[in-house]
Amino acid sequence: MKEKYFFVFRKLLLIFFLFFLFADVKSQTNFENWSTFDIAGKVKKNIELKFEYKNKYSHEDSQLRSSHVDFGMSYKINKLIIGGFYREIYEIKKENRVSEFRPHLDFSYKFNDNLKLRLRNEYRIKELGDNAFRFRLRSSYSLNIWDNFNPFFQNEIFILKKQLVRDRVSLGINIKINNTPFKIKPSYLLEANRKSSDNAVDWSYRNVLLIAFNIRL
């Protein structure tokens, strides 16, 4: 069984490597560190509360580029989880600190122990710019090889006004600390962002080292 998992993992590595080459990240890439802390706990059998904090540090600008807090509640119905959340974002743009408020509704479905799919519908309330709906679709595939040490692969696309505007591909490891509610998830993420000007379309890329700390009560 483990040989089967390693074969799948090698295929995921190959896909990730090909995406990295296709992206031509050398000329249009900056590097960032993202840190996430979230805590979640059940208040009833099928109801869970969650709080999250994330910040993003840009090495290109040598400063904290953005941070957000996110909190809400989810309800589980068999393999389907429906969640309602609210997010506040503060970001540095052109040396100014701007805010964005983002209520969002999540639908997550667990096909099996390895494959999960999440659809997010978010409404972006911007301090600068027009408000807009945006859809995000994330697929997650994990290899449950060991009890507390499992690699995973994720791909998330962002749709705005019927156009693909962002794509995130990540590869990481989910580490469970024995006899504790703690998890650590280090991962590497490659983000592609669409840029449009007049009739021209270009893409910029961002390399991210992400470390997530999770507590499940």
* Residue 202 structural domain: 2-216
- CA dist 157 and 169 (Å) reads 9
Burial environment of residue 166 by CB neighbours within 10 A (0 to 12, 13 to 18, 19 or more): middle
- In the chain, the number of structural domains is 1
Q: Is the pLDDT of residue 110 over 90?
A: yes
Mean pLDDT over 109-114 rounds to: 94
> Above 90 in pLDDT, residue 18?
no
Please state, in angstroms and rounded to a whole number, the distance separating the CA atoms of residues 33 and 52.
Answer: 17
> What is the pLDDT at residue 128?
81
pLDDT at 73: 98
Q: Which of 167, 161, 100 is nearest to 133 (CA)?
A: 161
In the predicted structure, residue 74 carries a pLDDT above the cut 70: yes
Local confidence band at 3 (pLDDT 50, 70, 90 cut-offs) = low
**Rounded mean pLDDT, 51-76:** 96
**Is 36 in contact with 53 (CB distance < 8 Å)?**
yes
In this prediction, residues 32-55 reach a mean pLDDT of: 96
Distances, alpha carbon 189 to alpha carbons 128, 155, 205, 208, in Å: 27, 9, 10, 5
**Overall average pLDDT of the 154-174 stretch:** 95
pLDDT band at 200 (very low <50, low <70, confident <90, very high): confident
Predicted pLDDT at 6: 55
**Three-class SS of residue 88?**
strand
Residue 116 has what pLDDT? 97
| pLDDT of the residue at 4 | 56
CATH number of the structural domain spanning residue 49: 2.40.160.40
Which ranges constitute the DSSP H helices of the chain?
2-22
pLDDT tens readout for residues 25-40: 444 568 999 999 999 9
For the stretch 183-192, pLDDT in tens is: 999 999 999 9
Kindly tell me if the per-residue pLDDT of 127 is higher than 70: yes
SS3 state at 177? coil
Give SS3 for 131.
Answer: coil
Average pLDDT score over residue span 187-215: 90
DSSP-based three-state secondary structure for 146: coil
Q: Across residues 107-135, what is the average pLDDT? A: 95
Average pLDDT value over all residues in the chain? 88
